[in-house]
Amino acid sequence: MNRPTDKAVDAPRACFIAAGLDVLGERWALLALREMSLGVHRFDQIARNTGASRDILVGRLRTLENQGVIERVQYSERPPRYEYHLTTSGAEVAPILISLAAWSSTWMRDETPRASYRHSCGADLKPVVSCAECGEEFTPGSLMLGPLVSAAGTDPPSDQ
Amino acid sequence: MNRPTDKAVDAPRACFIAAGLDVLGERWALLALREMSLGVHRFDQIARNTGASRDILVGRLRTLENQGVIERVQYSERPPRYEYHLTTSGAEVAPILISLAAWSSTWMRDETPRASYRHSCGADLKPVVSCAECGEEFTPGSLMLGPLVSAAGTDPPSDQ
DNA sequence: ACAAGTCAGTTGGAAAATCAAACTCACTCG
DNA sequence: CGAGTGAGTTTGATTTTCCAACTGACTTGT
């Protein structure tokens, strides 16, 4: 009763981009991760530097913690106070932030002055994305759909 | 009355990551761009494949058009019908989608089956991000703040 | 000692964004 | 002629977000 071509009224594409956005795509999430990448770990400073309201920021940080992207590290007993730190998973968000910063500094050409980014070597941010397998640079259009998978092909990296 | 260290009650960090998110960070925007990257250009299919409601999708597509990320291409006079295509700027969003897909397929390890992505060479998606200047691979933490800039350092790429 | 400040949240109510489904309009196809 | 397609628009509910004030447990300055 179900030939392979039967699509149940065309459900939205379930792909890893959509899944990633479920975690990282909520408002303020990536900016909070940006702060931690830059060495800012405390609630008040993250709130100030991102501009997020404190209440929704609490929600985002909890979601990111539940997803294993960040972790709370207690730095005071009385009163209990926590710092927010990137896990391995969170640290690996960097390429997303880098690509975003690079795209933005190329294409957002208006008058407003903004903080730019650079590589630790001192050079302006010019990331090159290439395929680990063939070494070729990714060109627009070289991203293609692959098969459906449940857990990524090979090794599950254990966090921390 | 304004020493360099006076910070006007700590405004949120104005940086290129935040600016990029203003354009690409709204709900459905990146998924719509994903569709166009995959060769889907018509409204109904973009709505179906992303899962966005038609009304907000209209809004997103208009914003992306105004920002020069996509353009509408008329393919029928009567009734007027348009296709949505990536501009050069839109095509260069690919590294963001690639990084997101790669992060997600590494870290979203639950049971639900999702479409994976691959490079056009056939290999599973394993992007390597390196610095165009020094050639070194970007490691977590190698992203650093640079100076404030108004329009990116050098050449404004003309679109198309 | 007491007032003021820091820090990580909570709370409550208003404002904005999103959602889903139905509806429109201009056609095309059988 | 009737059904279907395609790109929206409309409507009214639901969900998120925003903002400012408030709390509780301290710490620091005078």
Q: Which residue is nearest to nucleotide D20 (CA to C1')?
A: A53
**Residue B8 in this model has a pLDDT that exceeds 80:** no
pLDDT band for position B152 (cuts 50, 70, 90): low
Cβ(A143)–Cβ(B136) under 8 Å? no
Q: Which residue has the higher pLDDT, B11 or A5?
A: B11
- A90 residue type, one letter: G
- Per 3-state DSSP, chain B is made up of helix, strand and coil in percentages (nearest 5) of 35, 20, 45
**Residue B54 in this model has a pLDDT that exceeds 60:** yes
pLDDT band for position B109 (cuts 50, 70, 90): confident
Q: What percentage of residues in chain A have a pLDDT greater than 70? A: 89
What's the pLDDT score for residue A2? 38
Residues 64-93 of B with CB under 7 A from strand C: 78-79
Tokens 């007993």, residue located = A77
**Residue A5 in this model has a pLDDT that exceeds 50:** no
Q: How distant is the Cα of A58 from the closest Cα of chain B, in angstroms?
A: 17
Structural domain boundaries in chain B: 16-92, 93-108+116-140
- Domain B16-92 has what CATH class? mainly alpha
What's the pLDDT score for residue B78? 87
Q: Which residue has the higher pLDDT, A150 or B118?
A: B118
What's the pLDDT score for residue A10? 76
Residues 6+ apart with CB under 8 A from A49: A31, A35, A40, B10, B12, B13
Average pLDDT of every residue of chain A = 91
Q: Is B42 near chain A, with CB under 8 Å? A: no
CA–C1' span, A120 to C5, in Å? 37
Closest listed residue to residue A99, CA positions, set B86, B126, B136, B20? B20
Mapped onto helix, strand or coil, the DSSP state of residue A9 is coil
B chain contacts of residue A124, beta-carbon cutoff 8 Å: 133, 146, 153
Kindly report the number of other CB atoms within 10 A of residue B154's CB atom: 8
What's the pLDDT score for residue A25? 97
Q: Which residue has the higher pLDDT, A3 or A131?
A: A131
